[in-house]
Amino acid sequence: MKNILLITIFISLIFSCKNDQNNNGNLNVVTTTTLITDLVTQIGGDKLNIQGLMGTGVDPHLYKASEGDVSKLVSADLIFYGGLHLEGKLVEVFEKMQSQNLQTIAVSDALDPKTLIGSEYFASNYDPHIWFDVHNWELITAFVVEKLSEADPGNTAVFEENGKNYLEQLGALDAEIRATIETLPKEKRILVTAHDAFNYFGKAYGFEVVGLQGLSTATEAGVQDVQNLASFIIKKNIKAIFVESSVPRRTIEALQAAVNSKNHHVEIGGTLFSDALGTRGTPEGTYIGMFKHNVNTIVKALQ
């Protein structure tokens, strides 16, 4: 399968002719996750032809490129992806493209490696869930403005204006979520979720964070992991645990069942968006709406 994909890339590269698909003069930009699609849309607006590969509820750790994706990728002027091996199964495809001089940009390159959280679970040695600190997303916003301006200098003023407006909204978001979290007593700030997507959130906003499946959904939680975490929940008297929209619900239900079998009760506090946004057109379909939803859900359930 892998070979077929690489052959497809090669053939597509030979026959691709950039800008053939969309001849409105706009740059063709391909993005991977819904989070990155949203960000590039906020900044590029109607000046770009943006195609997002992954939809709502799609898990980037497990996502494999289809042949349709490959043809979108080879006809792109710019490709934005998460980086740090977030898109574990696309790494090889991106590396192949880089060697063909296609413009692939990892948004994680916006951040100083010293500020990243280390992880032995990823080949990058870093936790790739960088978007859960609004400050990181601010740095990435400025980085995307810069990269789009380099690729399309004629629209620099538009990208800069949109970027400036978006940074203001992100500043307001950060202040709002901090105020919401302030209403939750410090000892209740423990977040248990299906996989370890919230370490940057925990570090930035003062939560202890535990994920059942580890950092990537590519590893399944074992029976012992479930039992250990159930004991932790009971010991810390945690009221609620959380489902994630891009991870099957059964992982958290198994944990709830393990807690309840020990004569304790833990609620499922709601669904958080971790590696994918909500449905397009709803508030949770944007980064800002998603973040507010998550914080409101967490704070309400843990009170």
Q: Residues interacting with Zn ion, by CB under 5 A? A: 197, 275
> Least distance from C-beta 273 to Zn ion, angstroms?
11
Give the tokens for residue 27: 């740059």
**CB 114 to Zn ion: min, Å:** 22
Nearer to Zn ion, 152 or 275 (CB): 275
Q: Which is nearer to Zn ion, 76 or 247 (CB)?
A: 247
CA 227 to chain centre: 28
CB of 129 to Zn ion, least distance (A): 6
Q: Which is nearer to Zn ion, 138 or 275 (CB)?
A: 275
Q: Supply the minimum distance, in Å, between the C-beta of residue 149 and Zn ion.
A: 30
β pairing state of 27-31 and 78-81: parallel
Q: CA-to-CA distance for 38 and 162, rounded, in angstroms?
A: 13
C-alpha gyration radius of the chain: 20
CA atoms within 13 A on the CB side of 252: 25
In terms of CB distance, is 59 or 138 closer to Zn ion?
59
> Residues 200-218, buried b or exposed e (16+ Cβ, 10 A)?
bbbebbebebbbbbbbbbe
Strand partners, 106: 81
Closest CB to Zn ion among residues 8, 124: 124
Give the nearest distance from C-beta 61 to Zn ion in angstroms.
5
- Provide the minimum distance between the beta carbon of 197 and Zn ion in the complex, in angstroms, as a whole number: 4
Between 69 and 275, name the residue whose CB sits nearer to Zn ion: 275
- With 0-12 / 13-18 / 19 or more C-beta atoms within 10 angstroms meaning exposed / middle / buried, residue 142 is middle
DSSP designation for 118: B
Give the H/E segment covering residue 242.
Answer: strand 240-244
